[in-house]
Amino acid sequence: MNRVDYLRISLIDRCNFRCQYCMPEGTELDYILKQNLLTNEELLTLIKEVFIPVGFTRFRLTGGEPLLRPHIVELVAAISALPETKDLSMTSNGFLLASLAQSLYDAGLRRINISLDSLNPDRFNSIIGNRGRSQWQNVWNGIQEAYRVGFDPLKLNVVVIPGVNDSEILDLAALTIEKQWHVRFIEFMPIGNNELFTGQGWIPSEELRQQIRSCWGLTESQVCGAGPADIFKIPGAKGTLGFISQMSECFCDKCNRMRLSADGWLRPCLLNETGQLDLKTALREGVSMTTLREQLKELLTVKSEINFKQRYSGTATGNYSRTMSQIGG
């Protein structure tokens, strides 16, 4: 097993979008009550006293939508100021980013991933579940402001849904030619909206690469980050193209991360919650940091071998019904 030093931290389970691959129409979620969320102080205690001593040095802030979290800039500043923090990044839908990009950058955030599933405002509006005014321009403004401020790498995440946005692959890839943007195509997963997944299926990354290769050519490349994407670039382009192929080219054996939910549950795997730890309750009941560190070390030894394909094919055991916004992305 790879060294696990990367913690994805969900700050909030709420989101101002209802993306169809995460929260299908009609889904009603029981959101975590405010008093059950980890406070900033509790979160920082866990990072400093539990995770860093065990070897975690890379942190990604997620949600729901992390920019909905009160005092997000102050939390970013506190984590980035820790001398052991080697990398701090964030995943956002970008809706609130235009007004916060400069403050987040000044606080120490340097890398950000922004969801951009379509360049067509009407299609984007449909994907995010907004039947009113289109929010595409807000997200586009957030991307432009993040680029102006200096986030590098600035990554744009695209969940590819057959029959929905797969016709835009070349247009999205072309964003990397003139700007140092990094577009990442993510295979559609059976999480959050199983009905849509069953009906639409997924497109293997190699098919997407072949489309791009046929148009411009494609060469292997690299970009800063601790994620699982295979990186390529269009010859002469300023940015790169990443392919996250959890369905067709499962990378579970190379996983280097764990996930901390907004209410303090530490989970070893996106799809398997075996051995999960309730760190919030332990912290509030006064369990010693030494004990929590030992429990974390034990959990690291049993990280799941269950992978996306096993879950999709039905060979994995256990019940799993949470949406991506509840997991933390």
List the pLDDT tens digit at each of the 329 positions of the chain.
578 999 999 999 998 888 877 776 666 677 888 999 999 999 999 999 999 999 999 999 999 999 999 999 999 999 999 999 999 999 999 999 999 999 999 999 999 999 999 999 999 998 888 755 679 999 999 999 999 999 999 999 999 999 999 999 999 999 999 999 999 999 887 665 555 545 457 899 999 999 999 999 999 999 987 678 899 999 999 999 999 988 888 777 778 889 999 999 999 887 666 678 999 999 999 999 999 999 999 998 877 555 555 555 544 444 445 555 555 55
- Residue-wise burial string across 166-190, b where 16 or more C-beta atoms lie within 10 A, e elsewhere: bebbeebbbbbeeeebbbbbbbbbb
* Integer Cα distance of 183 and 154 in angstroms: 9
**Following CA atoms 114, 190, 259, 327 in sequence, which dihedral angle do they give, to the nearest 10 degrees?**
80
* Integer Cα distance of 260 and 62 in angstroms: 10
Angle between helices 97-107 and 72-80 (to 10 degrees): 30
CA neighbor of 10 nearest in space, from 312, 278, 327, 250:
327
Q: pTM to 2 decimals?
A: 0.90
CA angle 200, 31, 324 (to 5 degrees): 30
Q: Which residue's structure tokens are 């929590």?
A: 292
In the structure encoding, which two tokens stand for residue 295, read together? 């429990």
Which CATH architecture best describes the domain 6-327? Alpha-Beta Barrel (3.20)
Q: Which residue's structure tokens are 């394909």?
A: 309
